[in-house]
Amino acid sequence: MRELALGPAVCVDDRRAVLGEGPLWDVRDAALYWLDIKGEALFRFDPGTGETAVFPAEGMISALAVCAAGGFVAASRNGFLRIAIEDGGLHIDPLADPEAGLPGNRFNDGKADPAGGFWAGTMDNAEEAVSGAWWRLAPDGATTRLAGGFMVTNGPAFDPERGRVFLTDSARRTIYVAPSDGAVLGDMEVFAAFGPDDGYPDGMEVDAQGCLWVAFWDGACLRRFDPDGAPLQEVALPTPRPTSLAFAPGAIYATSASIGLDPSAFLAGGLFRIEVDADLSPPQRAFKGV
């Protein structure tokens, strides 16, 4: 596994998001979509112009995936949603709220799976209760609880070549791996665990070479691991709380948070771009529901 030539992390949008998250490179319009969960906004960054469009997004929308029928599927405080950008704003339709009986919970990270569904994890918004779980929204609209007992869910990151998925409990500083074809979740085992000096593993993604990239909250970096968990590379970011990442042609984008920090310092809450000498983008997956 060769070492990649990586440029420095450059802030391309000094947005000062409260809790920047959910970056998604959309090949349909060659743009980077991302979210501010607690600032309740959705952003569309156009790398061709360097401009960002801002859309108010109530309900703590936390993760997006391309929808094959158009628009996006999303996770939020109010469950799963369908989102379309229309007339300069967001048109939002509810799909399912599998944790309506847990008002202290909200959805956090999520992604489309290789079987055409959408996975997202829940968590206690106050980060006090171990009430988080992983859910799958199937293309037919059915919801399935895949696993419970999480405090702060992050991921998933799918590795379809090896038939597995990575899931993180950031509060436990632990990344788990399990067999999965996207539709089901097998038995989980620890892939990697980290100490206080490492920061907290947050959002993550598997690149086209089968390596796992992880953003480290309070670690001020992204780290790349080979398929067996050996560390390969580290990219420093000029902000202490990177939250997630997405691949684009010739680049990696990373979101960050200003929550708990002086938002005027460290470029906290900004969107960052790292040039890379390879296209790490796996094929774009889409939610195949209506």
> In order of start, what are the domains of the chain with their CATH numbers?
10-275 (2.120.10.30)
| Mean pLDDT confidence for 131-148 | 98
Alpha-carbon gap, residue 38 to 179, rounded angstroms? 33
Q: Is the pLDDT of residue 216 over 90?
A: yes
Q: What is the pLDDT of residues 3-55, one digit of tens each?
A: 899 999 999 999 999 999 999 999 999 999 999 999 999 999 999 999 999 99
Q: Is the pLDDT of residue 117 over 90?
A: yes
Annotated catalytic residue within 159, 202, 218, 279: 202
State if pTM tops 0.75.
yes
| Mean pLDDT confidence for 110-118 | 98
Q: Is the pLDDT of residue 217 over 80?
A: yes
The DSSP output letter for 35 is E
Q: Which string of DSSP letters, residue by residue, matches 142-182?
A: -EEEEEEEESSEEEEEEETTTTEEEEEEGGGTEEEEEE--S
What's residue 252's pLDDT? 98
In this structure, the strands spanning 105-112 and 89-96 are unpaired
Give me the chain's average pLDDT, please.
97
**Cis? peptide before 156, omega within 30° of 0:** yes
Alpha-carbon gap, residue 123 to 152, rounded angstroms? 5
Q: Is the pLDDT of residue 2 over 90?
A: no
Sheet containing 79-86, strands listed edge to edge, beginning at the edge strand earlier in sequence: 63-66, 72-76, 79-86, 89-96
Residues above pLDDT 90, as percent of the chain: 96
Q: What is the pLDDT of residues 231-274, one digit of tens each?
A: 999 999 999 999 999 999 999 999 999 999 987 888 999 999 99
Annotation says 202 is catalytic? yes
What's residue 265's pLDDT? 83
Contact (CB, 8 A) for 146 and 135: yes
Quickly state the pLDDT bin for 1 (edges 50, 70, 90).
Answer: low
Q: Is the pLDDT of residue 225 over 70?
A: yes
Burial class (CB in 10 A: 0-12, 13-18, 19+), 198: middle
Quickly state the pLDDT bin for 218 (edges 50, 70, 90).
Answer: very high
| Mean pLDDT confidence for 84-92 | 94
Q: Is the pLDDT of residue 57 over 90?
A: yes
Find tokens 């702060």 and name the residue: 152
What's residue 86's pLDDT? 92
